[in-house]
Structures are given as structure tokens and as C-alpha cells.
């Protein structure tokens, strides 16, 4: 068991980057691959350079992965299989706010701060993803980070209501322990960067299970041709939703064709969560809050294409923001100017959002590694070999 929190996170990140498995993950002979590396091409549009939400200029992602202990659950102590993932819309988003909108497909879950996003039509701080019981501590971490940068918050400046979204990782993690600290959140925010994004069993996705397989963080992007505006759309998900028989990959009913469901993926007892998904959408297209709400709704179609039916106990939250405009903080002038894309030219963005959402979810599955959590609960990664066979011979 590794005792240092920073060391745990660092080792987990390094292991993910090199293709090895972090502590707490089960041995697996298969390297993980993104769905495009498997020959699965989703939709018609090309991806951005990284095929990630960070292809949208200015957007950064940071993560802290917490893995320690094994064996029987000791509430409040471990084993720990959890983390935090943050999305930073742009530098100085407090003074240069981004238009934003959201959609809740099914509300058995929580994304704090949506009332203010809906009322104002903008977002003014980073977005944080974590587990259900860790929301208050993660919100504290975001506030600590913001106050350190803007010390007049709550004194001569406005207050803030952080946007923190949750999924339940209690099947693998000591969720009562609320192990993600304020310092972990600050560390994730300080380390947020553009470029490639780690996927699978990392950050907020460390303890997540999706479609009866190990789930977690996934991302994808689309870049429209210049004839359709040349805009970029990026999506990041935390996938913790769905039952195995529902899973569809590239139109193939993989979930129904796969082997028997393992114990951790079987039907849960009453009172336990059926799982959730958080979808974050970023674009540089100049959209306002109303249009971004419309875009958020379309992400639900990408979710549906992977087989989800947004079950009764599922929490399905979508949040979209645009870096294509700046909403000033307390402008001196009575008016300011924004550029807005005409609704009649939104169709390519809508299609791109659906495509990127579907691919981000599948990347979460194919990039996740098997994790053994509390009480020996094992969330098995989807077999890349088995998946290839089913896609090549779907009738078998």
C-alpha cells in the first residue's frame, strides 16, 4: 500500500501514460486502445488533433487519481478508488466568462450551480467532476483555488457557486471516506493543461463502472470543415451508466453478444444507484446560452447511440460552454457586443456533438483498465480482443 497521496496520484498518472496498470488495477495482458485505433469510425466529421475536449483552443483538463489499500471495506479508511477531474474553460474565466447552457436528461444525481448557469447564461469558473459524497469538499477546493486568484471574492467582488458534478463510485471505492481533499482539487486545477487527456480509470473515473464494464473518463472532438464554419467541438464524459445488455458499439449490440455479466455488473439492490453520466461539451463556435442548452440536449442522442435508455435511477447531466465570446465581469459600459451564430447554421454543430459524445463514451470503456476495489469487487475492462471479434463477426 502506498501511503503518500501525491505519490499515489503521480504513479497512477505515469502508469496510465505508459500503458501500465496503476496500483489497485488487476493484471491484464491487453494494452488499452481508443475506438479509432480499433478501426471504429464514429460519424462523418474529422476529429481534432488530439481527438479530445482540449482541441477547443484555451480549454484545459486536470486530474488527480487516488488509489490506495485493498481488501475489506473499512468505512472512512479505504480501500480508495476515486479522484477528481477538472475542466477549465479558459484562463481568467472569472473576468472573461463563457456563455453556457445545460440539460438534465434524468435527474437522479447532481451537478451543482446549474441554477445560476440557467439564470445567467454563462459559466465563470472551472467545472469539477468527482464522486457523490465528495461534492462539498471538491466545491471547497474550487472555492479555495478561485479565492487564491481573486482575493476580493465575497468582500468587494461577487461570491461564487461552483459547478461540481458527481457519479457514484461506491461499488469500488470507500465513498464514505470522502477521500478527495481540497488540496487534491487545487492540485488538479494547478496541473490542468491542453493537449492529450488521460482516459479510463483516472481522475473522477477511477471507481466508475459503465455498461457492466470498467468505465470512467472519455473524450473526443470534431472539427468542422471551413465551409461549415471551421469550428471545433470537444466532449468529455465521466461514464458510470448503463447495463451490459444495452451496450452498442458502432451499431453492433456488443452487450448482448458478450459473455455473462460478472457480479459487480449485475442488477443492483433497491436503494443503490443505477449509475450516471456527466457530459461536458466545449466549442469555439459563437453560441449563446440558449443555443448551448440546445446543444446539451443533443448530447443525449450520442448517449442513446451507445445503448443507454436513461433508466429511472440514472443521473444524466449535460453542460455546454462556448469560448467564442467573452462576457465581461462588471462591464463599465451599458452594452457590449457578442457575435452569434445563426440558428439555421447550427446543424453541423449538432451532428458533431452527437458524434463526439458517442465516441467519448466508447473511449471511456476501451481505455479503462480492470480495477479491483473494496471487498474484492472487480470491475472488468472490456476485452479488446473480444470486442474486435464481435465487431468483425457481429452475428456470432
Q: Which three cell numbers stand for residue 208?
A: 466508475
Whether 15 shows a pLDDT value over 70: the answer reads no
The pTM for the full model equals: 0.92
Q: What is the pLDDT of residues 246-286, one digit of tens each?
A: 999 999 999 999 976 565 555 444 444 578 999 999 999 99
CATH ID of 38-392, from 3.50.7.10, 3.60.70.12, 3.30.2130.10, 3.90.75.20: 3.60.70.12
Number of other residues whose CB lies within 10 A of the CB of residue 22: 22
Q: Which helix (H) or strand (E) holds 17?
A: helix 5-18
Share of the chain above pLDDT 90, in %: 86
Indicate the domain borders of the chain.
Answer: 38-392
Tell me the CB-side half-sphere exposure of residue 161, using CA atoms within 13 A: 11
CA distance 259 to 255: 8
Q: What is the pLDDT of residues 97-156, one digit of tens each?
A: 999 999 999 999 999 999 999 999 999 999 999 999 999 999 999 999 999 999 999 999
Q: Is 312 exposed, middle or buried (0-12, 13-18, 19+ CB in 10 A)?
A: exposed
Confidence of residue 26 (pLDDT cuts 50, 70, 90): low
What SS3 string covers 70-95? CCCCECCCECEEEEEEEEECCCCCCC
Residues taking part in catalysis: 276, 314, 316
Q: What is the pLDDT of residues 337-353, one digit of tens each?
A: 999 999 999 999 999 99
Note the pLDDT of residue 264. 56
CA distance 369 to 219: 16
CA distance 385 to 379: 17
Amino acid at each position: 500500500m502506498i501511503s503518500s497521496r501525491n505519490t499515489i496520484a503521480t504513479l497512477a498518472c505515469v502508469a496510465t501514460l505508459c500503458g501500465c496498470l496503476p496500483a489497485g488495477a488487476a493484471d491484464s495482458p491487453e494494452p488499452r486502445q481508443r475506438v479509432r485505433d480499433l478501426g471504429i469510425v464514429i460519424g462523418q466529421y474529422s476529429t481534432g488533433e488530439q481527438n479530445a475536449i482540449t482541441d477547443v483552443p484555451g480549454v484545459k483538463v486536470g486530474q488527480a487519481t487516488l488509489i490506495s489499500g485493498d481488501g475489506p471495506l473499512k468505512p472512512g479508511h479505504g480501500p480508495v478508488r476515486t479522484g477528481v477531474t477538472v475542466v477549465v474553460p479558459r484562463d481568467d474565466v472569472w473576468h472573461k466568462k463563457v456563455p453556457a447552457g445545460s440539460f438534465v436528461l434524468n435527474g437522479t444525481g447532481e451537478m451543482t450551480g446549474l441554477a445560476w448557469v440557467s439564470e445567467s447564461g454563462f459559466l465563470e469558473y472551472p467545472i469539477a467532476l468527482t464522486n457523490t459524497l465528495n461534492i462539498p469538499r471538491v466545491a471547497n477546493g474550487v472555492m479555495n483555488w478561485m479565492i487564491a486568484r481573486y482575493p476580493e471574492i465575497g468582500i468587494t467582488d461577487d461570491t461564487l457557486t461552483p459547478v461540481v458534478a458527481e457519479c457514484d463510485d461506491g461499488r469500488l471505492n470507500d465513498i464514505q471516506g470522502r477521500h478527495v481533499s481540497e488540496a487534491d482539487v487545487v492540485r488538479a486545477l494547478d496541473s490542468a493543461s491542453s493537449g492529450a487527456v488521460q482516459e479510463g480509470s483516472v481522475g473522477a473515473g477511477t471507481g466508475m463502472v459503465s455498461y457492466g464494464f470498467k468505465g470512467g473518463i472519455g473524450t473526443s472532438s470534431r472539427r468542422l470543415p471551413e465551409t461549415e464554419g471551421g469550428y471545433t467541438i470537444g466532449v468529455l464524459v465521466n461514464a458510470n451508466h448503463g447495463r451490459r445488455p444495452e451496450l452498442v458499439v458502432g451499431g453492433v449490440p456488443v452487450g448482448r453478444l458478450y459473455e455473462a455479466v460478472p457480479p459487480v455488473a449485475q442488477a443492483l439492490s433497491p436503494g443503490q444507484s443505477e449509475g450516471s453520466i456527466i457530459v461536458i461539451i466545449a466549442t469555439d463556435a459563437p453560441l449563446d446560452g440558449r443555443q448551448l442548452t440546445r446543444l446539451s440536449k443533443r448530447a443525449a442522442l450520442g448517449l442513446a447511440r451507445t445503448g443507454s435508455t436513461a433508466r429511472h435511477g440514472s443521473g444524466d447531466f449535460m453542460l455546454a460552454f462556448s469560448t467564442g465570446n467573452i462576457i465581461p465581469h462588471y462591464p463599465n459600459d451599458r452594452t457590449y457586443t457578442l457575435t452569434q451564430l445563426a440558428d439555421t447554421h447550427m446543424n453541423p454543430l449538432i451532428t458533431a456533438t452527437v458524434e463526439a459524445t458517442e465516441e467519448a463514451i466508447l473511449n471511456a470503456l476501451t481505455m479503462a483498465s480492470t480495477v479491483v476495489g473494496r471487498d474484492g469487487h472487480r470491475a472488468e475492462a472490456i476485452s479488446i480482443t473480444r470486442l474486435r471479434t464481435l465487431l468483425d463477426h457481429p452475428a456470432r
